Structure 1
Amino acid sequence: MKYLSLLPAAALLLGSCSKNEEAVEVSSPKETVNISLFSWPGYAFWFVAKEKNLVPELDLNIVIIEDPYESFAQMAAGKLDVTSSTVEYGPIAADQGVPVKLVAFTNPSYGTDKIILGPGIESAADLKGKEVAVLEGGLTQIYMGIWLENNGVKFDEVKYTNVIMDDAVAAMVSGSVAAGEFWEPFGGKVLETLPGSKVAATSKDPYFKKTALLADGMYMSGSFLEERPEVAKLTMKAYFEGVKYWKEHPEEANEIMAKALGFPVEDVVTVIGADGSSTDGGIYPFNWTESGQFMGVLDGDPPFGSNNEITRHWELTNEWWIKFDQVKKEHPMESGVDLAPMKALKADGYGG
Structure 2
Amino acid sequence: MTLLHQLKKALTLPARLALTTTTVLACTGAAMAAEDVRIAGYTWPGYGFFHIAIAKDLAPELNIDYQTIEDPYESFNLVAADQMDVVASTAEFTPVGVERGLPIKLVAFGNLSYGTDKIVAGPGIASAADLAGKEVAVLEGGLSQIFMAMWLEQNGADFDSVVYRNIIADDALAAMIGGGVAASQFWEPYGSNTLKALEGSSVLAQSREPYWLKQGVVADGYYMGDRFINERRDVALLTMKALYDSIEWWSQNPEEGNQIIADGMQMSVADVELVLGKDGSRTDGGLYVYNFMEAAQFCGSAPGNPPFDQTNGQINDHWALVSDWWVKFDLIEKVQPPETGIECSLHKELYEAGYRG
- TM-score w.r.t. length of structure 2: 0.90
Q: Does 1:330 align with 2:301?
A: no
Q: Is the 8 A contact 2:168 2:186 kept in 1?
A: no
Q: Does 1:191 align with 2:195?
A: yes
Distance 2:178 2:33 in 1: 55
Residues 68-120 of structure 1 show CA distances to partners (whole Å, capped at 9, x for unaligned) of 11111111111100011000011111121111100000101111100000111
Runs of 4+ in 1 over 2 A off after TM superposition: 26-29
Residue 46 of structure 2, aligned match among 33, 42, 58 = 42
Residues 152-180 of structure 1 show CA distances to partners (whole Å, capped at 9, x for unaligned) of 11111111000231211111111101000
Unaligned regions of 5+ residues in structure 2, if any?
A: 1-29
Secondary structure of the structure 1 residue equivalent to 2:287: coil
Aligned to 1:313: 318
Map 1:104-119 to 2 at 5 A.
104-119=108-123
Q: Does 1:95 align with 2:99?
A: yes
Q: Does 1:345 align with 2:344?
A: no
- TM-score w.r.t. length of structure 1: 0.91
Aligned to 1:146: 150
Secondary structure of the structure 2 residue equivalent to 1:83: strand
Count of residues in correspondence between the two structures? 327
Residue 207 of structure 1, aligned match among 172, 186, 211 = 211
Distance 1:294 1:88 in 2: 15
Residues 320-346 of structure 1 show CA distances to partners (whole Å, capped at 9, x for unaligned) of 110011110011100000112212212
Distance 2:244 2:171 in 1: 33
Distance 1:58 1:341 in 2: 17
Aligned to 1:248: 252
Q: In the TM superposition, what is the alpha-carbon distance from 1:27 to its structure 2 partner?
A: 6.2
TM-align CA RMSD: 1.1
Letter in 2 for 1:339: C
Residue 157 of structure 1, aligned match among 154, 161, 173 = 161
Q: In the TM superposition, what is the alpha-carbon distance from 1:224 to its structure 2 partner?
A: 0.8
Residues 38-89 of structure 1 show CA distances to partners (whole Å, capped at 9, x for unaligned) of 0000110111111111111001100000011111111111110001100001
Distance 2:349 2:293 in 1: 14
Secondary structure of the structure 2 residue equivalent to 1:157: coil
Residue 271 of structure 1, aligned match among 275, 300, 312 = 275
Distance 2:210 2:177 in 1: 29
In our comparison, the structure showing a higher alpha carbon Rg is 1
Distance 1:47 1:36 in 2: 12
Map 1:199-238 to 2 at 5 A.
199-238=203-242
Distance 1:168 1:46 in 2: 30
Q: In the TM superposition, what is the alpha-carbon distance from 1:28 to its structure 2 partner?
A: 4.4
Percentage identity across paired residues of the two chains: 51
Unaligned regions of 5+ residues in structure 1, if any?
A: 1-25
Distance 2:172 2:83 in 1: 31
Distance 2:345 2:55 in 1: 27
Distance 2:298 2:168 in 1: 29
